[in-house]
Chain A
Amino acid sequence: NAGVTQTPKFQVLKTGQSMTLQCAQDMNHEYMSWYRQDPGMGLRLIHYSVGAGITDQGEVPNGYNVSRSTTEDFPLRLLSAAPSQTSVYFCASSSLGDEQYFGPGTRLTVT
């Protein structure tokens, strides 16, 4: 079991560029989610999904899109990167209501 995997580990973008952060899990979990972690603010939920074809917004969804075409994959798209999106991004998965398993994170810098 690889658990939750994320790519890339590090990324530098220029303002206005777009990119996709990849997330995959091999535990057959229904629930997948994306968080951003900023100093002094804990983790904030961006988007989540309770199954293939179903996504919903979290606390801070603006500037991000997601899709869930399979149970395993849950990519996060930055449409037009802004310096305010500089952060560490974590993907997580779980059975519904259960503890979440987190990926290793992607450190994103937008200049």
Chain B
Amino acid sequence: ELKVEQNPLFLSMQEGKNYTIYCNYSTTSDRLYWYRQDPGKSLESLFVLLSNGAVKQEGRLMASLDTKARLSTLHITAAVHDLSATYFCAVGTGNQFYFGTGTSLTVIP
């Protein structure tokens, strides 16, 4: 069974600061997804990473994938309050998806 570990689980950061969320997974996969979930809401897709070295950016968020290290990162640049949410990575293998436990991000003014 594929294991997906995210860290940190909780992150409190000041507005304007940078930080990185890490997603490690245990077996080979070439599909990595990042989702955002606001409290009490559903999940919203942020990024799809499909190959080694893939990098995608949207606003203050940038995601990358290193399939050899089995590692994806979600980098937050100059955080703003609107980024407060829980972020999940998910790994696809065959037709199954395995989610990390999520990183709860709070951005403090």
Contacts of B100 in A (CB 8 A): 42
Query: Could you tell me which residues of chain B, from 20 to 38, have a CB within 8 Å of some CB in chain A?
Result: 31, 33, 35
Taking a contact as CB atoms under 8 Å apart, the answer to whether B88 and A43 are in contact is yes
- Chain B residues with CB under 8 A of A22: none
A residues 57-96 with Cβ under 8 Å of B? Answer: 58-59, 90, 92, 96
Cβ-based interface call for B97 (8 A): yes
* Residue pair A42, B99 in contact (C-beta under 8 Å): yes
Q: Tell me the bound Cα distance from A109 to B45 in angstroms.
A: 27
For B48, list chain A residues within 8 Å (CB): 98-99
Q: Which residues of B contact A92 (CB under 8 A)?
A: 43
* Nearest CB of chain B from residue A104's CB, rounded to whole Å: 5
Q: Per-position contact with A for B53-76: 1 when CB-CB < 8 Å, else 0? A: 000000000000000000000000
Chain B: interface size category: 20 to 34
State which of B1, B35, B50, B101 has its C-beta within 8 Å of the C-beta of A41: B101
Given contacts A42-B101, A101-B45, A103-B42, A48 and B96 within 8 Å (CB-CB): yes
On whether the beta carbons of A100 and B97 are closer than 8 Å, the reply is: yes
Contact bitstring A24-41, B, C-beta under 8 A = 1, else 0? 000000010101000011
A105 → B minimal CB distance (Å) = 6
Shortest distance between the CB of B13 and any CB in chain A (Å) = 21
Chain B hits for A104, CB < 8 A: 41-42
Chain A residues contacting B45 (CB-CB under 8 Å) are 99-101
Task: Give 6 pairs: A residue, B residue, CB < 8 Å, sorted on A.
Answer: A41-B101, A44-B99, A96-B95, A100-B45, A100-B97, A102-B43
The chain B residues found within 8 Å of chain A, CB to CB, are 1, 4, 31, 33, 35, 41-45, 48, 50, 88, 90, 92, 95-102
